[in-house]
Structure 1
Amino acid sequence: MKLSPLALLGVLVAAAPAAFASSSAELTVKGTIKPGACTPSLGTGNVDFGTIAANTLNPDAHTALPVKNLNLSVACDANTRFALFSKDNQEGSATSPSDGSLRSEGRAHGLGWSTGEEPKKIGHYLVEIDPAQTTVDGSTGYASASTDGGETWGSAGSASYISPSELLGFSPESGHNEGPAPVKDLISVLNIKAHLAPSNELDLSADLTLNGSAVIELQYL
């Protein structure tokens, strides 16, 4: 995690009787001073799609489930540059999104595996920031994304996703490429878009449990 600014202090401790050759032991003391601590919140953090009838699944293509919403907020002690990303606790279990692009695959989170002798990927979900319901410090918020760890940024436009493969930051300015602005309060809505694998690829002889799990993290810039 990159934190700024960084306070670094080196202290040298030496003990040597005058009549003997000197010897020393080095002590390094490190610390971090943050411009303002930020606290993210996801409301309940739980998304439940309930019971899904197996005969409603498309046999040859992904089945999109109804979009679910979660309230997202980030509250900082002071104006702070930060970005959001996710860690998929079911890494490796996501099916490939229908468009097949590498960027879409990097944004997909897994829904876990089926049980049985040959476990199958159940599907995937995307975590989308709703641009129409995003504000920073009371003004309309615009997202910018970085796929290289924050080295370069570009406007996320209308496709703003929290994912393991990119950083997502915010600014009150639209169409910017300078990266996130210092923000004190972010308020938005997450659209959870889940897609189930084609039924021909699943063993539907027993119940399948959707078991998606991810952590949304905040990185100081």
Structure 2
Amino acid sequence: MADSTDLTITGTIIPTSCTPAFSGGNLVDLGNIPAASLNRDRQTELTNRNITLSVSCSASAPMAIKVHDNQAHTQRPGIVVDGTDWKMYIFGIGEVDGNKIGGYGLRFGKPSVDGELSSVMYKQGTSANWSEPETATLLGKNYEGNLRYSWGRSTAAGPLPGMVHTFPMTLVPVIGPTSSLPITSDISLNGSATFELLYL
């Protein structure tokens, strides 16, 4: 009797497809930052930058996002954005010679679905219900549990379906005290986050 092996083919046919993109591209260049403009003994908040995640769909659909911090290991402890230093709200911005440079927050604005303004909501873990964000301003990262964000008319109504979704944010970059940074040479910032799109 001959030996055998199986080939399994999987896949899913979905009723709609959506394409996410950042207005102005997915690179935020903070430019040259003079070391003399930074505080030696406390953090320095740099000029904020506005960014917008836009999602275009082939048919009306509700959706959610997860945000993954690809530089979480470089997030400097003690960095504060909008009054919070919770790890889940501060993203890493790079390190130099083993020293963490700082961090940044993503302050969310008012999303819209096909032009209709919406409210931000979230789910954590296996929760069946949508809730209002725990902070009024900052987007949390999915560093533990199944944290996802969406938008709609209310948490009771849930995510709003549509063909064009816009999610405005403000990038709030922060550099830690320079007393622990080797500022005798150029220091490159290196933040990176992945926005994962979820079909609901």
TM-score range, shorter chain: 0.7 to 0.9
Residues 1:110 and 2:89 are matched in the alignment: no
Question: 2-side partners of 1:149 and 1:58: how far apart?
Answer: 43
Query: In structure 2, what residue type is equivalent to 1:33?
Result: I
Question: 2-side partners of 1:136 and 1:169: how far apart?
Answer: 11
Query: For residues 31-56 of structure 1, what are the alpha-carbon distances to aligned partners after superposition, in whole Å with 9 as ceiling and x for unaligned?
Result: 31223111101131111111112122
Preserved contact between residue 37 and residue 76 of structure 1 (Cα < 8 Å): yes
| SS of residue matched to 2:99 | coil
Q: Name 2:161's counterpart in structure 1.
A: 182
- How far is the alpha carbon of 1:151 from its aligned partner? 3.9
Query: In structure 1, what residue type is equivalent to 2:65?
Result: L
| SS of residue matched to 1:55 | helix
Query: In structure 2, what residue type is equivalent to 1:164?
Result: N
Question: 1-side partners of 2:51 and 2:100: how far apart?
Answer: 24
Which of 159, 163, 188 in structure 1 is aligned with 2:137?
159
Superposed CA RMSD in Å reads 2.6
Preserved contact between residue 129 and residue 162 of structure 1 (Cα < 8 Å): no
Preserved contact between residue 113 and residue 161 of structure 2 (Cα < 8 Å): no
Query: For residues 171-200 of structure 1, what are the alpha-carbon distances to aligned partners after superposition, in whole Å with 9 as ceiling and x for unaligned?
Result: 1x14x2454232321123221111111112
Q: Name 2:10's counterpart in structure 1.
A: 30
Instruction: Give the structure with the larger strand fraction.
Output: 1
Preserved contact between residue 41 and residue 178 of structure 2 (Cα < 8 Å): yes
CA change 1:100–1:68 in 2 (3 A) is: closer
Query: In structure 1, what residue type is equivalent to 2:179?
Result: N
Q: Name 1:139's counterpart in structure 2.
A: 116
Residues 1:74 and 2:41 are matched in the alignment: no
Question: 2-side partners of 1:124 and 1:53: how far apart?
Answer: 18
Q: Name 1:8's counterpart in structure 2.
A: none
Question: 2-side partners of 1:139 and 1:100: how far apart?
Answer: 30
- How far is the alpha carbon of 1:108 from its aligned partner? 1.8
Preserved contact between residue 84 and residue 162 of structure 1 (Cα < 8 Å): no
Question: 1-side partners of 2:6 and 2:189: how far apart?
Answer: 53
Preserved contact between residue 82 and residue 182 of structure 1 (Cα < 8 Å): yes
Query: For residues 100-125 of structure 1, what are the alpha-carbon distances to aligned partners after superposition, in whole Å with 9 as ceiling and x for unaligned?
Result: 55xx311222111113xxx1000111
Question: 2-side partners of 1:76 and 1:60: how far apart?
Answer: 48
Preserved contact between residue 160 and residue 168 of structure 1 (Cα < 8 Å): no
Residue correspondence of structure 1 range 34-73 to structure 2 within 5 A:
34-43=14-23, 44-73=25-54
Query: Any unmatched runs of 5+ in structure 1?
Result: 1-23
Preserved contact between residue 105 and residue 138 of structure 2 (Cα < 8 Å): no
CA change 1:200–1:177 in 2 (3 A) is: farther
- Give the structure with higher Rg (CA): 1
Question: 2-side partners of 1:79 and 1:71: how far apart?
Answer: 20
Question: 2-side partners of 1:74 and 1:182: how far apart?
Answer: 12
Query: In structure 1, what residue type is equivalent to 2:151?
Result: F
- Which structure has more relative contact order (CA 8 Å, sep 6+)? It is 2
Query: In structure 2, what residue type is equivalent to 1:127?
Result: L
